[in-house]
Amino acid sequence: MFPLRWIAVLLACALACQAHAQAVAARIDSAPLYRFTLDAMVRGAPPQQNSPAAVLDTLVAERLLAASLRKRYSAAQLYPGAGVGFAPDVALDDRLAGALRDMYAKELDAALRALPGAILDTYPVDAAQLERLFGAPGKLRLDYTLDAAQTALAGQVPLMRYVLGQAAPVTLSMHDVLRRQNVQGRMEFFSRNLDFMRQQARAVVAGRFVLDWARRRFGAGPLADLRQALADQDDVRAAMALYGIGGSAEAESPVQAALVREVTEAEIKAWYAAHKEQFRTVERVRARHIRVPDEATASQVLAAAAKGEDFSQLARRYSRAADAGGGGNLGWVVQTTDPDWLSALALMQPEGKVSSPFREAVGAGETASWEILLVDRRIEGYHRAGSETVRYLARKAIAQARARSQFAATRKQALDAAVIELGAAP
């Protein structure tokens, strides 16, 4: 038993902690953004971005922008991969519990050890129930989802009962645990992996314990606010992917795909004129080459060239190509849509510099030769304004710029329309 004075101290600490958590860092259209949320997000921010002022600005902007985006796009549009991954609300709960575990590991461990008792009882699940839920074993499937009748049955099949401390017993159904799985997890359920099911049930209980502890310690309002901040962050990131900004330039963007179709020929021409230097290309090169049978000979030729020996004379002495007598002269090599191997190499070489030896790409069992090149003259030009290369890159660049502009405008509109009070009193 704790002495009464220690109980009083612990209670005072808990009340002080809850009071700090429920302090308001800002109000957005009169709705509070709690100090608890700000503290948590400061802890999770990168070192170069974790000043409270910067994090608070981001939280306010994301709260408003996410609300605007949710009105414009459905959950299916924001999270097109939800059928394969975790459901957004499940991923959000797991992220919230994980953040709390990272921030309050010692406190949570102490709270778990201080429980007067904890019970985890598993229920037997018979083969008939599993077959009704997941169909015949070994059946080939194209998806791993339950129909309406199976979902209702899963809600009636108990998987685990738990009691934490003096709280009332709680029963987890098969549905409670299955709905928290991604596609790999659902496959384990359909494969009747009872060990996996029970392990996942224990993970659900652990997550619920963390969230319940935080709710009692900090209050329901601050905890819900932190969850909302994480949801705002996820929704803004999802929308940025939808717009094709902030991630891989090669990622598919539905917004940009629509904008690409709106780009006019006049806009392509104007963009080409403003960015013509990006479309420099090698039109043709005048080149020579030396073909030798092995790498050792190639190294010998390269060493001789490095000492200043004439490339044409080296070709006449060492090359096994038909043009050796002419000093390895390839003439003018012109850029085409599909140049052969040697032409492609010649077009890539700088002017006036003997190349490194290149091993010929040959099939299995074939004898490879080695090529050394020298470009005497290199003529550059530009892709034509109407070429497919120009049209593709111009449309993509114009669409990306418009997507960024639209996203920024949506953010500004959301901020301008809101009443924001920083450092408001609780």
Q: Tell me how far apart the alpha carbons of residues 361 and 375 are, in angstroms, rounded to a whole number.
A: 21
Judge whether residue 4 has pLDDT over 60: no
- The 10s digit of each residue's pLDDT in 229-244 is 999 999 999 999 999 9
What pLDDT is attached to residue 22?
83
What pLDDT is attached to residue 7?
38
Q: Tell me how far apart the alpha carbons of residues 88 and 72 are, in angstroms, rounded to a whole number.
A: 17
Q: Where are the beta strands (DSSP E) in 258-352?
A: 280-292, 329-334
CA-based angle 43:46:51, to the nearest 5? 65
Q: Tell me how far apart the alpha carbons of residues 243 and 239 are, in angstroms, rounded to a whole number.
A: 6
Q: Output 85 or 380, whichever has higher pLDDT.
A: 380
- The 10s digit of each residue's pLDDT in 409-423 is 999 999 999 999 987
Q: pTM for this one?
A: 0.74
Judge whether residue 17 has pLDDT over 70: no
Q: Report the SS3 class of residue 173.
A: strand
Per-domain boundaries in the chain: 4-243, 254-274+386-422, 276-382
Is residue 394 within 8 A of residue 263, CB to CB? The reply is yes
The CA-to-CA distance between both ends of the chain, in Å, stands at: 36
CA-based angle 319:324:325, to the nearest 5? 140
Band of residue 11 on the pLDDT scale cut at 50, 70, 90: very low
Residue 321's CB is within 10 A of a number of other CB atoms, namely 17
Is residue 218 within 8 A of residue 84, CB to CB? The reply is no
* Topology of the domain comprising 276-382: Chitinase A; domain 3 (3.10.50)
